[in-house]
Structure 1
Amino acid sequence: MKRKLATQSKLVIVFTLLAIGLWNCQEDPNGTGMELLPGSDVKTVRQDVEKESISAYTEKDMLLRTDEPSYNLFGTFNDPLFGKTTSHFATHFRLGGYPDFKDITQVDSLVLYLRYKELYGDTLTMQSLKVYELADAIYLDTTDATGTGDFPYYQDVDLKALANPNPIGELDFYPTFRMDSTETDTLIQELAIRLDDALAQKLANADSLDMINNDVFTEFFKGLYIESQGTDNEGALVAMNPYIERVGKIYPDLRLYYTYMTDKDTTNRDSVIYRVNKNAARINSFTHDYTNTPFADQLNEHPSEPDSLIYLQTTGGLRTKINIPTLDNWKDSVTITPENKKIPYVINKAELIFQVDTVASDFHNYKIPSSVVLSAIDGSKEEGDEGYLYLPHDFTVSPALYGGFYNSEEATYNFNITHHLQKIIEEEDITNDGFYLSTLYQNERARRVVLKGSSSHVGIRLEVTYTILK
């Protein structure tokens, strides 16, 4: 099974790796482009603010790749604004070494431990989980330099179809969120799910050849599927870090407890731990139901007019298409000399500004993304093709100046597209085919935000400072 890695997923990886370390860099953005200007040739500097021509539409996001995320999400969340999101996951469990079962006299229990530090939603709704043993194998993906994966999985994967039909464990629980005594960190919360004794016996009776290495073991025991059940109340999405080390433990894990004899009169208890680590295949599935949401009509058919609000959501949810047709006017508005020579404008700064609707976002109760990403579209390619989405050249020049980080003082996300606009002016192969605005950390974080749309009073603003040469 080979599928091309979604272009947007790779853009997110690139943006994340470079931007995190550079966002504090300082540089005067108003000086951008001035190094191109001979001092004696400056004619005039002007400013332009564009709002009226910009259009923005909320769309369903492209299919999201969901294997091996930094966090696995599970739960059901009935968002009061964004509709219903449900997340399930499947995972391998691996041997930490060859199990020493000693002289087992009794298999006591098999317990699945899930540990988490973050939830998105409320703590008042009871959540329900069911656990199934996988019947079909899942695989750890490897991706080459071209972005092609051997075993990529996407949000629409039918994990239940890979599992045995009967559950082997169930749990009803209320998610909890507690701080430590200094209130500087959240405490790790633990869920313990007792699994069926038949699986415990299967693991205890495993032949030595079934445990000779982890490749063989994961064929013998293919893993577990954790299914979130529906709820009529708000609910929550829970984020589980698969391998945080704390006091010698690795999270989550599967523990087989048993009793053994030390001599003919003495019994003791011990356990074997099956672990999730970086070599374990882990896969999420996400489903969304936008019925009765205020933007449902936008998703079902492209509206004739832009909406006053636009919506972004992680977990393969929502993105926004941005069109700025007046960018082409800059290419057409170059200065023509008497010798019929074109002298283009020099763009000192071009900034695209998105205003957060803090009331609609209800950001005190629902975290908004700390950063978002603006990708340019190459209209000569089809969606899903390599290079259909690309990061503007400004990101390559300086991820810090490119922007996309949330400005809490202004409640905005700002993007510097100075070099991108300059390239539209100067280079024939750079075309103005629009942009997509989307979230980061899509397969591992529950986040959403509402922005002012292009038809709102605030609108989406493109502010350009430019210089015309003699």
Structure 2
Amino acid sequence: MNLNSITKQIILLFVIVSLVSCDKDFNEIGTDIVGGDNNHYLGDKTTEYTVQAYNQKLGPVATNNLPINPLGIFSNPAFGTTTANFVTQLEIASASLNRTFNNVDPTLYQTLPIVDSVILNIPYFSKLKETTTNEDGEILKTYRLDSIYGESGSKFRLSIHESNYFLRNLDPETQFTEQQSFYNDNQSVENNITPGRLNNAPLVNTEYIKNADGRENEAFYFNKKEQITKTKNDDNEDVLARSVPSMRLHLDNNFFLNKIINAPSGQLVNNDVFKNYFRGLYFKVESLGNSNSLAMMNFAGGTVTVYYREDSKVTDAQGVVTFNKVDKSFVMNLTGNTISLQSNSNENADYITATNSTTEATSLYLKGGQGSMAVIDLFGPDTDGNGIADELEEIRTRGWLINEANLIFNIDKVKMGNAQTVEPNRIFLYDLNNKTVLVDYIFDQTTFPGYSKQNKYVHGGYILDENNKHLSQAKNDDGVITKKGTKYKIRITDHIKNLIRKDSTNVRLGLVVTETITNVGFTKLKTPIGIIDKIPTMSALNPLGTVLYGSHSSVADDKRLKLEIYYTKPD
């Protein structure tokens, strides 16, 4: 190994150690010292500085073409009830594109095509928990669902409708130069659906279907069991097929016979034509009185498969014609344009009052979707009017070596009540002025292969217990958090260093809940509020909320929002 290679490896190791270190006693000697060896520093110290925080209600937000989408009903006593519906276009799979059926030519069939079944299938986010073998030698798999919120097994009414609302790609108001935005309060979708439910077909093989009334609509729930389907092989023997837990619904045969098999000429030729002809599916949820279950869904991984039989004409050498029924399938993917349609009801009075106030907050209400966020100012007021907060001016004169800086957000357990078990796993802090991440986010390169929601570990934002341990793994078999958190901590060391040593602008900060920190895109508000015209996309799709103690002087000191700075003082 040559010297150059060794040097590169040493540099790489040094960078990794620098990035992942989060010990508050770690002194970054040499990075902030001016004047080299002539400087002398005393031991580590900690000081708390002024933070001013405010609530902001957001209103409707653009929720089209999100990477994942909520579906269901979720109740949170601190906020109210969120109902999440969904609409999606369908696209013909490449193998089925421009399909022709033998019903167009009477010489090709003896009897018309028959639709045997239509299956909607959308896999849930799940993890394999255990694999066992029963007495018959069958391998059985037990799963745990991920990203399911509310009460395990809670049921609601689920209706699938044909949507007649066209989801165009581009916005005519921008001369078709920008993507069309659709907002989560869009009522035009539900006003343009076909009334009859498509998931209204009686089930077969009910021994493998777990819904209580033998149907898949009036008592739907997110089932964690593996999917087991039964078919017949060529010898008329039962064959069981097993797959991961999923939403598996039987849709109306006659509807798809007419819509697909009997489609007018040219409507299946390509997906641009098809999406205007069959404009999509609308997933509507309704409470059964006490429904409280919501899942994050990857609808784009779903399919609608039409299983049908049609005649195959065979002419033998003697010219004798026979017709044999052949099994075929026509596959549509749940891709194309989508909208997450979220509405709030029974909103908590304290939540409404707090988020419509412009005063410094005693409690911070963070809620995803059509929810609320916090706006944060560091270092207090600027009394001399020079554009720099007084505390920041003072710190800049002291020559401190900044070792670490954190914002500490304590959870208001009284206001959260029983909703504590469904706290957001993570919150996200960003530059509100410029709609971008903080420098600490950029510098933190920590990753967790296979579980990206834990990336940026040093920057933080996780829910923590009283011992500063994060709770992302403290879940039961249904994926519900079982241990209550007490706070969130976000490390902003490099942001503070830049403010002190590099005279960076002390921008306002935005704080939101997030589904995952790895996606830092932004989505539009329907009605901008000052500089807030966009919010992080991962907050727009997250249904959860949390109540944190604010910065107002009336909040007890041990609960109040804090900016902690660990520093080394010059001698």
How would you bin the TM-score normalised by the shorter chain? 0.7 to 0.9
Which residue of structure 2 aligns with residue 241 of structure 1? 298
Q: Does 1:403 align with 2:460?
A: yes
Q: What's the CA shift for 1:431?
A: 2.6
CA RMSD of aligned residues (A): 3.7
Distance 1:273 1:196, change over 3 A: same
- Aligned partner (choices 67, 73, 78) of residue 76 of structure 1: 73
User: Does structure 2 conserve the Cα–Cα contact (< 8 Å) formed by 1:155 and 1:285?
Assistant: yes
2:112 alignment partner, SS class: strand
AA aligned to 1:35 is: T
- CA–CA distance in 1 between the matches of 2:329 and 2:259? 15
Which residue of structure 2 aligns with residue 42 of structure 1? 40
CA displacement 1:171-224 (0-9 Å, x = unmatched): 22231342679xxxx951334143373453132122452222222221222212
Which residue of structure 2 aligns with residue 349 of structure 1? 404
- Aligned partner (choices 280, 296, 308) of residue 352 of structure 2: 296
Which residue of structure 2 aligns with residue 10 of structure 1? none
Q: What's the CA shift for 1:413?
A: 2.1
- CA–CA distance in 1 between the matches of 2:461 and 2:188? 34
- Aligned partner (choices 186, 202, 218) of residue 157 of structure 1: 186
Distance 1:70 1:334, change over 3 A: closer
CA displacement 1:363-402 (0-9 Å, x = unmatched): 8984433322112333xxxxxxxx2x33222223335433
1:120 alignment partner, SS class: strand
Q: Does 1:31 align with 2:34?
A: no
1:442 alignment partner, SS class: helix
Which residue of structure 2 aligns with residue 128 of structure 1? 157
1:390 alignment partner, SS class: coil
Q: Equivalences for 1:58-77 in 2 at 5 Å?
A: 58-61=55-58, 63-77=60-74
Which residue of structure 2 aligns with residue 451 of structure 1? 548
User: Does structure 1 conserve the Cα–Cα contact (< 8 Å) formed by 2:379 and 2:392?
Assistant: no
Q: Equivalences for 1:319-338 in 2 at 5 Å?
A: 319-326=373-380, 328-333=389-394
Q: What's the CA shift for 1:362?
A: 6.6
Distance 1:162 1:275, change over 3 A: farther
Q: Equivalences for 1:420-459 in 2 at 5 Å?
A: 420-426=495-501, 430-440=505-515, 441-454=538-551, 455-456=555-556, 457-459=558-560
Q: Does 1:176 align with 2:176?
A: no
- CA–CA distance in 1 between the matches of 2:499 and 2:343? 38
Q: Does 1:93 align with 2:61?
A: no
AA aligned to 1:317 is: G
Which residue of structure 2 aligns with residue 318 of structure 1? 372
Distance 1:173 1:24, change over 3 A: farther
- CA–CA distance in 1 between the matches of 2:27 and 2:458? 12
User: Does structure 1 conserve the Cα–Cα contact (< 8 Å) formed by 2:41 and 2:570?
Assistant: yes
Identity of paired residues, percent? 19
User: Does structure 1 conserve the Cα–Cα contact (< 8 Å) formed by 2:429 and 2:512?
Assistant: yes
AA aligned to 1:108 is: V
Which residue of structure 2 aligns with residue 383 of structure 1? none
2:374 alignment partner, SS class: strand
- CA–CA distance in 2 between the matches of 1:318 and 1:57? 11
Distance 1:314 1:187, change over 3 A: farther
User: Does structure 2 conserve the Cα–Cα contact (< 8 Å) formed by 1:112 and 1:195?
Assistant: no
- CA–CA distance in 2 between the matches of 1:371 and 1:161? 32
2:82 alignment partner, SS class: strand
- Aligned partner (choices 260, 275, 284) of residue 203 of structure 1: 260
Which residue of structure 2 aligns with residue 4 of structure 1? none
User: Does structure 1 conserve the Cα–Cα contact (< 8 Å) formed by 2:153 and 2:293?
Assistant: no
- CA–CA distance in 2 between the matches of 1:93 and 1:121? 29
User: Does structure 2 conserve the Cα–Cα contact (< 8 Å) formed by 1:57 and 1:298?
Assistant: no
User: Does structure 2 conserve the Cα–Cα contact (< 8 Å) formed by 1:114 and 1:240?
Assistant: no
- Aligned partner (choices 230, 251, 254) of residue 304 of structure 2: 254
Identify unmatched segments of 5+ residues in structure 1. 1-20, 143-147, 245-250, 336-341, 379-386
Which residue of structure 1 aligns with residue 342 of structure 2? 286
- CA–CA distance in 1 between the matches of 2:370 and 2:189? 19
The number of aligned residues is 414
Bigger radius of gyration among the two? 2
AA aligned to 1:271 is: S
- CA–CA distance in 1 between the matches of 2:78 and 2:380? 33
- CA–CA distance in 2 between the matches of 1:45 and 1:376? 32
- Aligned partner (choices 494, 508, 518) of residue 419 of structure 1: 494
Q: Does 1:227 align with 2:281?
A: no
